[in-house]
Amino acid sequence: MRWSRAFIFTLKESPKDGITPSHIYLVRGGYIKQMGAGLYYFTPLGKRVLDKIMAIIREEMNRAGAEEVLLPFVTPYSLWEETGRGQKYGAELLRFQDRKEGVYVLSPTNEEAVVDLVRGVVKSYRQLPINLYQINLKFRDEIRPRFGLLRGREFIMKDAYSFHSSEEDLEREFQLMEKTYRRIFTRLGLEFRVVQADSGAIGGTGSREFMVLAETGEDQLAICSQCDYAANLEVATRRPRHLENPEKSSEIEEIYTPGITTIEQVAEAVGVDPYFIVKGVVKKAIYGNGEEELVVFFLRGIDQLEETKGINLLDALELVDATEEEIKKAGLIPGFIGPFGLPSHITYFIDEDLRGAKDLVAGANKPNYHIKGASLLDANLLGYLNHYRDLAQVKEGDFCPKCGQPLKITKGIEVGHIFKLGTVYSKKMGATFLDQQGRARPFIMGCYGIGVSRLIGAAVEQHHDEKGIKWGLPIAPYQIDIIISDIRRQKQVEIGEQIYTTLQQKGVEVILDDRKERFGVKITDFELIGFPIGVIVGRGVERGVVEIRHRQTGHREEVAIERAVERLIEIINE
């Protein structure tokens, strides 16, 4: 491709809402242009990167035995009513009516559609397993689209769905998809981690996310400093701690603590470390059937409730803060709530880290009083045994549940997610097959997604500097940028054209910068757009050499003109 004939444009100014490097450089480098909130044009440069990513994904999915299909982007809302997900997805699901007043949605995901495709067609266990995937548009009506391609409303996704006759076969496919995803992201040149995750609105049980590590990521991850344990903070666990309170209590006593309601105030008034204080967090659970319920979560004073754990525990739509009025109406005393003497009608749970703890300070469930010296050693006798759950949000320095070493908290960008759906969708949609005994059974399913367009942004977040993007060879729009320093000098033009033509003949993806622009403009664009290799055809031709610049490392080398093509092929094949 000749730059003078290409639709390529670069910008000096950053987008007004540009915060992340990927958003700024993809817009400035002319890869994308905003159409509306969360909606982007892909230019020829952006489309070339997108195509390369999709090609790698297709190769690996086909290698794993999956078959490509194309499902409608627009799907009937009636399919979503079959599974009950229409209400659960909420406002992110864009609904609309056609001229016949039929209700449809722009698909954010396609579990319902693929079950509708398979049901009635796959009738016997002999036709299983199958894994169907597509690379297609998706739409989520994000309330605050931001960060360019990292959180848009319209996006491109690879979603795959597998159908099985047994849990064992689902597990086999789940492991195969994890290996396949590892190969995909490795080939894309990304630093990533596979983490335990929450299934969210997709549903199911087993769930793993593939996270590209980046400080601009929206997801917080707990990662072990020694072993391979990694989990999204929403579901991360820790090894219980066992510290003894130096302030021993020979008996349980009530302490008068007028107006003292915060953990910090209690710690100072009683003279105890917040670790040994029991904190009561009151939330209002909102359920899918419209019902509401006040729930108390008890944790150590140094910990915070991880709301996703609470939502999953209760199978609720969401948890919201209870008002002081609601707390009082339930018979609780704000600021003085504890697990001892709690009203019998209150639903409550206790964090696992408090199991068997002693010498604790907790609210006395009466105004202006706390209890000191309380113990959960006799939890079974007290009726607490069935109330223990993992509730706390993991912190930096907590201990890994796998090896016991300290955990680190870092950030990541979710680029892939795999689920074990089980029979969540097939049961609700009446999708069955006949097993070996001739009995009708619901399909056992898996689901495997990759954010294809998001991968472009994630790659830039990991590979950039203050000048622009630093693409790796596998996904760069062009591998080599030949820069004719001064288009007015015939010898430079002849050498540049010669190298360009020879590389094209050898199948190398190369662009020739033959613009009537200053050299400074050309080199700035080379660095901003991020081509992996630059060939400077300049004054060195008088000495019989050209300069090769490596965008990733900044390394420069001079090579003889007659050896330039050979050396460039070597670099590409390294």
Per-residue pLDDT tens over the stretch 333-343: 999 999 988 88
State the average pLDDT for the chain.
93
Question: Per-residue DSSP letters for 398-447?
Answer: PBPTTT-PBEEEEEEEEEEEEEEEETHHHHHTT-EEE-TTS-EEEPEEEE
The per-residue pLDDT for 317 is 87
Which structure tokens are listed for 170? 């689902």
The per-residue pLDDT for 205 is 62
Strands 556-560, 545-550: pairing kind:
antiparallel
The per-residue pLDDT for 220 is 92
Strands 533-537, 480-484: pairing kind:
parallel
Question: Which amino acid appears at position 227 of this protein?
Answer: C
Q: Taking 60 as the threshold, does the pLDDT of residue 306 lie above it?
A: yes
CATH of domain 478-573: 3.40.50.800
Domain boundaries, the chain: 14-215+413-461, 253-389, 478-573
Q: Taking 60 as the threshold, does the pLDDT of residue 202 lie above it?
A: no
The per-residue pLDDT for 42 is 98
The per-residue pLDDT for 199 is 56
Topology of domain 14-215+413-461, CATH = BirA Bifunctional Protein; domain 2 (3.30.930)
Backbone angles phi and psi of 539, in degrees to 5: -65, -20
Q: Which of 116, 115, 93 is nearest to 106 (CA)?
A: 93
Asked if omega into 477 is within 30° of 0 (cis), the reply is: no
- C-alpha span between 210 and 195 (Å, rounded): 6
- C-alpha span between 405 and 227 (Å, rounded): 8
The per-residue pLDDT for 384 is 62
- C-alpha span between 315 and 199 (Å, rounded): 12
Do 253-389 and 478-573 agree at the fold level?
A: no
Which structure tokens are listed for 89? 């997805």
- C-alpha span between 137 and 428 (Å, rounded): 25
Q: What is the mean pLDDT of residues 521-549?
A: 97
Q: Are 268 and 259 in contact (CB under 8 A)?
A: no
The per-residue pLDDT for 379 is 45
Strands 347-351, 388-389: pairing kind:
parallel
The per-residue pLDDT for 377 is 66
Name which of 62-76, 189-203, 548-562 the model is least confident about: 189-203
Q: Which of 140, 133, 143 is nearest to 154 (CA)?
A: 140
- Split at pLDDT 50, 70, 90, the class of 64 is very high
Q: Taking 90 as the threshold, does the pLDDT of residue 203 lie above it?
A: no
Q: What is the mean pLDDT of residues 510-523?
A: 96
H or E stretch covering 18:
none
- C-alpha span between 159 and 446 (Å, rounded): 11
Per-residue pLDDT tens over the stretch 238-282: 998 888 888 787 788 999 999 999 999 999 999 999 999 999 999
Question: Which amino acid appears at position 209 of this protein?
Answer: E
- Split at pLDDT 50, 70, 90, the class of 381 is very low
- Count of positions (residues) in the chain: 574
Question: Per-residue DSSP letters for 67-93?
Answer: EE----SEEEHHHHHHHTHHHHHGGGS
Q: Taking 60 as the threshold, does the pLDDT of residue 380 lie above it?
A: no
Task: Name the CATH architecture for the domain at 253-389.
Answer: Alpha-Beta Complex (3.90)
- C-alpha span between 536 and 291 (Å, rounded): 69
Give pTM, 2 decimals. Answer: 0.85
Q: How many helices (H) and strands (E) does the chain have?
A: 15, 31
Q: Are 196 and 236 in contact (CB under 8 A)?
A: yes
The per-residue pLDDT for 385 is 62
H or E stretch covering 236:
none
